[in-house]
Amino acid sequence: MSSETIVVPKTMRAAVYRGINDVRVETIPVPEIGPGEVLVKIHTCGICGTDLKKIHTGSHSAPRVFGHEMAGTIAAVGEGVTDFAVGDRVMAYHHIPCGECFYCRKQTFAQCETYKKVGCTAGFEPSGGGFAEYIRVMDWIVRRGLVKIPDGISFEQAAFIEPVNTCYKAIDMLQLQPDETVLVIGQGPIGVLLAALARRTGATVLTSDLYPERHAVAAKFGLDRPLDARGDVVAAAKAATEGRGADVALVAVGGNALIQIAMDAIRPGGRVMLFAATQHGEAPFDPAAVCMDEKTLMGSYSASVAIQDEVSKLVLDGTRNGFDLTQLISHRFSIEDAVAAIDLASNPQPDSMKIVIQPGA
């Protein structure tokens, strides 16, 4: 496809963060690209819990355009770009590490200073930019963090590559065995992803949530051991494991009180993985459970470049291998309705799961 086939406008619509709890749909300039960069016309961008925390806590300066679970079509390429062309369908990671520093050598990529820089922007301070019609993808992302979407695979499916990577990383760290039982606390879209990936290891997976509607979505991924979070989840985990407790508990929803429940629900020598504890604070837990009961408290944050190819294959083959992630999407919004989308995502309902904004649908 030649560069003449996609006409890039001078301005675009975007959901602009202007301050705490203040997002406005505005007309802003389409970002300009430089050498080694590409411009992507966004089709679909998922709303992530980290986007919401930034909007509601004011942790980041304004103005910005958030959104990083994104897929779209290349609308322009900069000088020197040879691996991609106008018309290519792609998803873009917004963080990619340097590959050379101490943390990269230790495979702790999310702590790399280059990784902490955001390489995609719709303008303003780089913040992902997926809640806009176009994003500028910077050169180090183009080199290592831009993934082509094959024909026949939807933008919606491809937009899950980044969140699946974050979940796959956590499951990989746990080194699950087929004879283990895993408790996943929370069955929002991330909880379902974690549980579905855990199930693929052969482990037995228990899922806990308040809402039957979410358990019904989880069941589409073969998750058939639901627990009612209004009941005694610790007792249920023990009942399912001959009184021992689960081998692993994954905390897939924010709330420090859940850490103690997770610690109580695992057996001596078990592991607790914190996945949603992304805000600083203090959380009580029994130190003797770690020392005398030999329970391990772990954390996993963001994506890993080391598993990028594996994750891309898993997601892009998803419709053929029973991993159709579009089943997690409950609501789709236009860019004009982005504020309503963010409001719904911030106030989840029993029937709301992954909410996406579709500037290019």
Q: What is the Cα–Cα distance from 92 to 158, expressed in whole angstroms?
A: 10
CATH number of the domain bearing residue 286: 3.40.50.720
Amino acid symbol at 97: P
Percentage of the residues of the chain whose pLDDT score is greater than 90: 93
d(CA 24, CA 69): 20
Contacts of 79 (CB under 8 A, 6+ apart): 34, 35, 36
| Spatial CB neighbours of 91, under 8 Å, sequence gap ≥ 6 | 70, 71, 146, 147, 149, 158, 159, 161, 162
Which residues are within 8 A (CB) of 43 and not within 5 positions of it... i.e. 6 or more apart?
Answer: 71, 72, 73, 155, 358, 359, 360, 361
State the total domains in the chain: 2
Say if residues 311 and 160 touch (Cβ distance below 8 Å): no
**Residue 310 falls inside a structural domain:** no
Indicate the residue type of 142. V
Do 249 and 146 fall into the same domain? Answer: no
Asked, for residue 175, whether it belongs to a domain, the answer is yes
Write down how long the chain is: 361
Which of 122, 149, 158, 150 lies closest to 138 in space, CA to CA?
122
Residue 269 and residue 341 in one domain: no
- Please tell me the predicted confidence (pLDDT) of residue 3: 44
Does 41 lie in the same domain as 122? yes
* Pairing mode of beta strands 134-137, 120-121: antiparallel
Say if residue 146 is in the same domain as residue 172: no
For 24, the domain range is: 3-153+319-357
Q: Within this chain, do residues 170 and 148 fall inside the same structural domain, yes or no?
A: no
**Residue showing tokens 């996406």:** 356
pLDDT tens per residue, range 45-81: 999 999 999 999 999 999 999 999 999 999 999 999 9
307 within some domain: no
Would you state the pLDDT for residue 183? 98
- Specify if 342 maps to a domain: yes
Tokens standing for residue 218:
């989880």
Q: Are residues 143 and 38 in the same domain?
A: yes
84, 146 contact by CB (below 8 A): yes
Task: Mark whether 102 and 230 lie in a shared domain.
Answer: no
Note whether residue 308 is domain-resident.
no
In whole angstroms, what is the distance from residue 83 CA to residue 36 CA? 10
Residues 276, 173, single domain; the answer is yes
Q: In what side-by-side order are the strands of the sheet with 266-274? A: 226-228, 204-209, 181-185, 246-251, 266-274, 296-299
- CA 283 to CA 21: how far, in whole Å? 26
Per-position DSSP letters for 90-132, written without gaps between them: EEE-S----SSSHHHHTT-GGGSHHHHS--EESSSS-S---SB
Q: What pLDDT does residue 2 have?
A: 40
Return the pLDDT at 174.
Answer: 98
Dist. CA 14–CA 131, nearest whole Å: 6
Domain match, 73 and 94 both: yes
Low-confidence ranges of the chain (pLDDT < 50): 1-4
Residues 78, 188 within the same domain: no
Do 194 and 148 share a domain, yes or no? no
Query: Domain for residue 203, yes or no?
Result: yes
Looking at the structure, tell me whether residues 171 and 140 fall in a common domain: no
At 204-247, the pLDDT tens digits run 999 999 999 999 999 999 999 999 999 999 999 999 999 999 99
Could you identify the residue written with the tokens 């990936």?
197
Boundary-marking domain end, from 299, 331, 349: 299
Q: Do the domain assignments include residue 225?
A: yes
Structure tokens at 2: 């030649």
Q: Is residue 311 part of a domain?
A: no
Q: How far apart are the C-alpha atoms of 243 and 259, rounded to whole Å?
A: 20
